[in-house]
Amino acid sequence: MSNEEQIAYWNGETGQHWAKKDDMMSRLLQPVCMALMDHADLGDCRSALDIGCGGGSQSLMLAQRLGAGASVLGVDISAPMLAIAEQKIALAGEAAASLEFLQADAAVHAFEKDSFDLLFSRFGVMFFDDPVAAFSNLRGALQDNGKLAFACWQSLADNDWTRVPVQAALQHLPTPEAPDPHAPGPFAFADPDRLRGILQAAGFADIGIEPSSHEIVFGEADTLEASVRQMAEIGPVGRLVAGQDDDTLAKVFSSIEEALAPFFHDGALRMPGAIWFVTASTG
pLDDT category at 2 given cuts 50, 70, 90 is low
- Chain-centre distance for alpha carbon 234: 12
Say if 241 falls within a structural domain: no
Say if 53 falls within a structural domain: yes
- Chain-centre distance for alpha carbon 147: 19
H-state helical runs in the chain: 3-10, 13-20, 22-40, 57-66, 79-86, 131-140, 160-169, 192-201, 224-234, 237-241, 246-260
Asked if the model's pLDDT at residue 1 lies above 70, the reply is no
Q: How many domains does the chain have?
A: 1
In tens, the pLDDT along 194-222 reads 999 999 999 999 999 999 999 988 877 78
Say if 222 falls within a structural domain: no
Average pLDDT, the chain: 91
pLDDT category at 75 given cuts 50, 70, 90 is very high
Domain that holds residue 122: 3-155+180-215+273-281
Asked if the model's pLDDT at residue 165 lies above 80, the reply is yes
User: What is the pLDDT at residue 39?
Assistant: 96
Structure-model confidence comparison of residues 215 and 19, the more confident one: 215
In tens, the pLDDT along 96-150 reads 999 999 999 999 999 999 999 999 999 999 999 999 999 999 999 999 999 999 9
In tens, the pLDDT along 265-274 reads 888 899 999 9
Asked if the model's pLDDT at residue 153 lies above 80, the reply is yes
* Residue 138 and residue 48 in contact, taking contact as beta carbons nearer than 8 Å: no
22-31 mean pLDDT: 88
Say if 254 falls within a structural domain: no
Say if 87 falls within a structural domain: yes
Say if 221 falls within a structural domain: no
Say if 108 falls within a structural domain: yes
Instruction: Quote helix, strand, coil % in the chain, to nearest 5.
Output: 45, 25, 35
In whole angstroms, what is the distance from residue 135 CA to residue 129 CA? 11
pLDDT category at 180 given cuts 50, 70, 90 is confident
* Residue 269 and residue 224 in contact, taking contact as beta carbons nearer than 8 Å: yes
Q: What is the CATH number of the domain that holds 64?
A: 3.40.50.150
Say if 198 falls within a structural domain: yes
Helix 22-40 and helix 224-234, axial crossing angle in degrees, nearest 10:
70
